[in-house]
Amino acid sequence: MASFAREVAYRIFARELSDTTVALERDPDDAYAPQYVLTPTGAKVNRVFVIGTLTEKEDIGTDTEYWRARISDPTGAFFMYAGQYQPDATRALTEASVPEFLAVVGKVSVYTTEDGRVMTSIRPETISVVDALVRDRWVLETSRQTLDRIKELEEGNCENLSMIEENYSMDLEQYRQMVASALESMQ
């Protein structure tokens, strides 16, 4: 039976999330099944917790506030959209300034643009301003958990192994390098 317990917030670097192109099919018999995306290192993700620097924010709404924001970590950038259905996140984005460290909890979705590019974005649930010390801990934790996933995947321990092989290059060395460069940025 599918689980309706609160979804864990995965720790994923921006580069890995922006490489993500696979949205898992929902159970067709279950209209309330959560949407998951499958990342190149094998994480099956509905929710993420990310910390990075707010590098852009823009209110693109017409009738109501609708914010588009970019949050950068040492490997790339997360894209997020927040509007009237995310009142806490919208208020936080209204108040936030560029650049500033933000901690974001949100849901991930994969979509295809008009010109055929597959993009990921985060719909934030909560956003808070944090300092460099908290950010450092996130980078270390995300490095740890990314390396753990790479190792599991290399050993073939992944429930969606065949789907990953079909959709991604399986060049896991690039993600090791990504982790290495993230860690080096902290030295």
Quick one: 25 or 165, whose CB is closer to other proteins? 25
> Smallest distance, Å, CB 159 to other proteins?
15
* Site track for other proteins across 35-74, x = CB under 8 A: x-------------x-xxx-xx-x---xx------x-xxx
Q: For residue 118, give every residue at least 6 positions away whose Cβ sits within 8 Å of its Cβ, in sequence order, or none.
A: 21, 110, 111, 112
Per CB under 8 A, 112 contacts other proteins: yes
Q: Do the beta carbons of residue 46 and residue 123 sit within 8 Å? A: no
Per CB under 8 A, 154 contacts other proteins: no
- CA pair distance 178, 44, nearest whole angstrom: 20
Which of 41, 75, 90, 120 binds other proteins (CB under 8 A)? It is: 75
> Smallest distance, Å, CB 53 to other proteins?
4
Phi and psi at 124, nearest 5°, equal -70, 140
Burial bucket for residue 140 (CB in 10 Å: 0-12, 13-18, 19+): middle
> Smallest distance, Å, CB 136 to other proteins?
5
Selected range binding other proteins among 122-130, 152-160, 163-171, rule: CB under 8 A: 122-130
Rg (CA), the chain: 17
